[in-house]
A and B are shown apart, each in its own frame.
Chain A
Amino acid sequence: MTGVFARIGLPELFAAIIVVALNVYVLTGGADFGGGVWDLLASGPRRDRQRDLVAHAIGPIWEANHVWLVLVVVLTFTAFPAAFAALGTVLHIPLALMLVGIVMRGSAFVFRSYGSRTWEQRRNWGRVFAVASTLTPLLLGVVIGAVSTGAVGSAQTRIGAAGFRSVYVAPWWAPFPIAVGVLALALFAMLAAVYLAYETRDDALREDFRRRALAAAAAVFAAAFGALAMAHLEAPIVRAGLENSAWALPFQVATGAAALAAIGALWRRRYAWARLAAAAQVSLILWGWAFAQFPYVVPPNLTIENTAAPRITLELVAWALAAGAALLIPSLVYLRRTFAARRTR
């Protein structure tokens, strides 16, 4: 921990802000994608009601949630332009596929809600929405997994010298990034199920999503162990970070405790607690990755320091962030309050 704080400066602050924005995106936008997964997997006698619940839950907020991802992108290219260039170049294929998913998810959702005149159209757009919601988190996880192995950073140094597969495919089309993709999907699905169980006022639906949340939590365990096992083989930087630093053990213990707390709370039908514990679990996993990778933005060469934008840029954006936060946080609270009124009444 001391190693981290000894080196804190403006670029490190920006790295932290980007992880915070990614964290909020994962907890909000990630859960919206998870909602789409449960649309895809809707089943049983209450199938249509499950889908309606998902649509009602994400309708007013998914666009605001989505902006966190845009913020991550913008802050990355502003604060770490060289790292952004490397990511965009080597990860072109998974990022482009993720974009297709983002476009299809968002547009299919509004076409279903507003543009469908027949039951059949609704069903078809719903299917596009659900499939796109499932593929996008997989790709997001693949991208993060690929960065953390160091394969993206080393592929970047081979541009022009090595073949297409070696530079543009191999870094992400590998077991560890794919395992992280599966983990991201399971986490988002779990978050969504926990939120939906908490939010609905319908007891039968709540039981449906409680069971789904428990199943997703089990999937998270399996995916997390799979990813950890593969980290030993493919992600030496992450593994070293996870194993050799002083903070690693408490971090992992806290993550495991949050995971067990979420399952326990779901088991005992304490939904507010389950929501808190699940959000903590997801956040701890994300921060565990961020700390394990510190001080690299794109390991093994591009660090926070050697890719940071000039100080004047960072200072200006820091002021903009402060002003923006003063504006946005009350606005977001207002948005949530406005649409939370129904369930507390």
Chain B
Amino acid sequence: MTDLLAARSQMAISLGFHIVFAEIGIAMPLMMVLAEWRGRRTGEREYLELARRWAKGVAILFAVGAVSGTVLSFELGLLWPSFMKFAGPIVGVPFSLEGFAFFTEAIFLGVYLYGWERISPRAHLLAGVVVLSSGAASAVFVLMVNAWMNTPTGVTMSGGRIVAVDPVAGMLSPAAFPQALHMLLAAYASTGLAVAGVHAWMLRRGAARGFHRRALIVALWVGAPAALLQPLSGDISARLVAQTQPVKLAALEGQFHTERGAPLRLGGWPDEQAATTRYALQIPHGLSILAYHRWNAEVQGLTAFPRADWPPVAPVHASFQLMVALGTAMALVALWAAWVGWRRREIADQPWLLRALIVVAPFGFIATEVGWAVTEVGRQPWVVQGLMRTADAVTPMPGLIVPLTVFTLLYVVLGAVVVAVIAGLVRDTDAAPYGADA
């Protein structure tokens, strides 16, 4: 394994680990606040109990998210010092703002988690609102950095060096809004449906019904609307990629040759050597319509670009297909739940819907991982599209396989412990049934 690949793998593992906790950190506070607010409004104790039980899990997940996020902030320098030297003056501004948003989040999460008996109900709920808004703001600032790497603006280059910067223009790069929207919706959809799946599982097992049916409803109120909106946000993102990163679009669609009225390929496996995508189900004109909203729009193929500028086509295509498939399944289940809710039926009484919710529970997090792979691997060989190659950004330190191994082991162990601990907390709701009096 080359040092470059080791560095990329370590960054991918660190981000892939952190992103799950980041999503949970964004969405769970919204769910806790909704549950607490319902509880205070209706006087139903189960909702307050729910907010407290969720808070216990969030305390663990937020801490792991905070430390794994710290790892990333250091890894920018440990693995990509030249990138930071190059991009620091631009990305530093959104990262500084993110620092403040994260600070606010950490302060008020402390107040929220440990302050149940110490402050008034109103102040407690307000602390939760601060946590959920600063969590969302953190995500927006981080996505501004990633968007800048995809569609860099606000830099004037001369001879491979930045000679003038405009950090505000850098923050508001073309990809900033579509990416931030897509990530926020992903966080609410993934977390909401995952939590709904956990409570659906408990309902199927016949555990404390009064507690779990309320939990299911709150989780669906967060997860289902986001899952339904996500395809629209995906369309906005895809059309922007078509305009600004045609190589990435060609890779994620497996489009090797420039073509008018390009088909949409479902499945299939791109063969870079033969420059063709085999075994795909082709929907005529589908890609031209999706990417440009025109029947006969021209879609540039990979062969229109130098071979040295291609990303690895097969993994990008496969990741993209998987993301879309998982997102579609989530949207369909969300639609089903919305239909049941709209007809004023009890969701907890629908065994097949509960089963479907259990099945799609992990889909959001998997879709997030492969979606992140689409945007990051799809940008290769660039770390900043068109401006800096990843190979030029990596640290000169040899032996990067060692830190890669250390952090991989650390995250494998940590991930396993988190799963075991959260599973224990979920089982506790069985052992001490609340809401039995509902």
Contact = CB atoms under 8 A, between A and B. Distances in A.
Interface stretch (B80-88, B233-241, B309-317): B80-88
Given A71-B103, A317-B96, A327-B100, A164 B84 contact: no
A233 interface: no
A173 interface: no
A75 B104 contact: no
A324 B111 CA distance: 19
A92 B78 contact: yes
Interface of A is mostly: helix
B102 interface: yes
Nearest to A109: B63
Contacts of A312: 165-167
A345 to B, nearest CB: 11
B77 A88 contact: yes
Interface residues of B, number: 71
Contact of A81 (B73, B89, B118): B89
Contacts of B70: 66, 69-70, 73, 99, 102-103
B125 to A, nearest CB: 15
Interface stretch (B205-213, B286-294, B375-383, B391-399): B391-399
Contacts of B88: 77-78, 81, 84, 309
A331 B108 contact: yes
A192 B78 CA distance: 30
B92 interface: yes
Residue from the set A61, A74, A331 with the largest chain B CB neighbour count within 10 Å: A74
B410 A89 contact: no
B395 A92 contact: yes
A119 interface: no
Chain A interface category by residue count: 35 or more
Contact of B99 (A67, A109, A334, A338): A67
A313 B89 contact: yes
Contacts of B113: 60
A74 B77 contact: no
Contacts of A113: 59
Contacts of A335: 107-108, 110-111
B359 interface: no
Given A70-B102, A96-B406, 9 more contacts: A59-B114, A70-B69, A74-B99, A105-B67, A107-B63, A109-B63, A309-B92, A313-B167, A316-B168
Interface of B: 56, 59-60, 62-64, 66-71, 73-79, 81-82, 84-90, 92-93, 95-100, 102-104, 106-111, 113-115, 118-119, 164-168, 395-399, 403, 406-407, 410, 414, 417-418, 420-421, 424-425
